[in-house]
Amino acid sequence: MSRIHSGHKGKAGSHRPYPLTKPEWVTATSEEVVEQAVTLSKGGLSSALVGLTLRDQHGIPSTRAITGKRLSTVLSEHGVRPEIPDDLQALLKRVVHLQRHLATHPKDLSNRRGLALMESRIRRLARYYRQHRRLPENWRYSAAGAALQVE
Q: 49 and 68: one domain? A: yes
Taking alpha carbons only, the member of 90, 140, 96, 89 closest to residue 115 is 96
pLDDT confidence bin for 52, thresholds 50/70/90: very high
Instruction: Please name the amino acid found at residue 37.
Output: A
pLDDT confidence bin for 9, thresholds 50/70/90: confident
Q: 141 and 111: one domain? A: yes
Q: Does the residue 97 lie in any domain?
A: yes
Q: 72 and 92: one domain? A: no
Q: Does the residue 4 lie in any domain?
A: no
pLDDT confidence bin for 11, thresholds 50/70/90: confident
Domain containing residue 145: CATH number = 1.10.287.10
Q: Does the residue 136 lie in any domain?
A: yes
Taking alpha carbons only, the member of 19, 148, 22, 139 closest to residue 93 is 148
Instruction: Please give the residue range of the domain that contains residue 46.
Output: 30-77
Q: Does the residue 36 lie in any domain?
A: yes
> What is the number of domains present in the chain?
2
Q: Does the residue 145 lie in any domain?
A: yes
Is 75 in contact with 67 (CB distance < 8 Å)?
no
Q: Does the residue 72 lie in any domain?
A: yes
**What is the model's pTM?**
0.79
